Structure 1
Amino acid sequence: MSSSTITYRAVIREINRSSVSAPGTRNKVIASSFRALFDKKRNTEEQARFDHDMKNTFIFLHSQRMHKELLERYNPLHDLTPEERIKATARRVGLDVPVNSEKDS
């Protein structure tokens, strides 16, 4: 198997892993666009540079997915609104946030 085929499969696999939608509802245009890019650059004088760029693309996608997973694991409050974050932080130390009378009015 050639290096470009391995790189192509790695990039497509990483795109699928980082996708938030279900496999049946994913946009097929992304995968077909990458396929067209790889077919277009095959057997050209720019192939070595293109392979290097695609390897960097794979590394970027993989690192981005790992960063997201680590944020979710070690910082569970990162995706909350500021109000939800305050409530969760108060609950962490055993307190409840007092009810604000201005919001109730």
Structure 2
Amino acid sequence: MATAALRRSIYREFIRSANSRRAAKDGAPLRFLLHPSKKDLLEKYDDRGLENIRTFLRANRLHKGLLERYNPLHDLTTEERIKATARRVGLDMPEDVDPNPKDGS
């Protein structure tokens, strides 16, 4: 049986790792742990397994934070990443040229 403090710390890690405040308020990250037709799925783990879950969640949250801090281009599309890289070295990307202009010239 898991201790109450350990269970609460896991729930806190889920809330902290939520992508937005709204998702945290809705409890969206907890959906896979709590199933409406079953008992709490955390009941089947012992304390060591719950500590492993908590450690994994904390490490995952910290990893995402470090990626955002030290690699700010990681969540951009390829085109946005190329433009940002060009701007970093003082260049601007050329505007796209339409090979078939519609005005006939």
TM bucket, shorter chain: 0.7 to 0.9
Shift of 1:96: 0.1
Shift of 1:103: 7.9
- Determine the C-alpha separation between the residues in 2 that align with 1:25 and 1:91: 39
* 8 Å CA contact retained: 1:14, 1:62: yes
Greater mean alpha carbon deviation, residues 85-94 or residues 3-12: 3-12
* 8 Å CA contact retained: 2:18, 2:29: no
* Counterpart in the other structure of 1:44: none
* Counterpart in the other structure of 2:11: 12
**Alignment of 1:78 onto 2:74:** yes
Q: 1:74 to 1:59 in 2, by over 3 A?
A: same
For structure 1, the 5+ residue unaligned runs are 42-48
TM-score by length of 2: 0.75
Give per-residue Cα distances to partners, 1:31-90, cap 9 Å, x unaligned: 87298234x45xxxxxxx611111000000000000000000000000001110000000
Match of 1:37 among 37, 41, 48: 41
Shift of 1:17: 0.4
Shift of 1:30: 3.0
Larger fraction in helix? 1
SS at match of 1:79: coil
* Counterpart in the other structure of 2:25: 24
For structure 2, the 5+ residue unaligned runs are none
Letter in 2 for 1:19: A
Percentage of pairs with the same residue: 44
- Determine the C-alpha separation between the residues in 1 that align with 2:41 and 2:69: 35
* 8 Å CA contact retained: 1:4, 1:51: yes
* 8 Å CA contact retained: 2:6, 2:50: yes
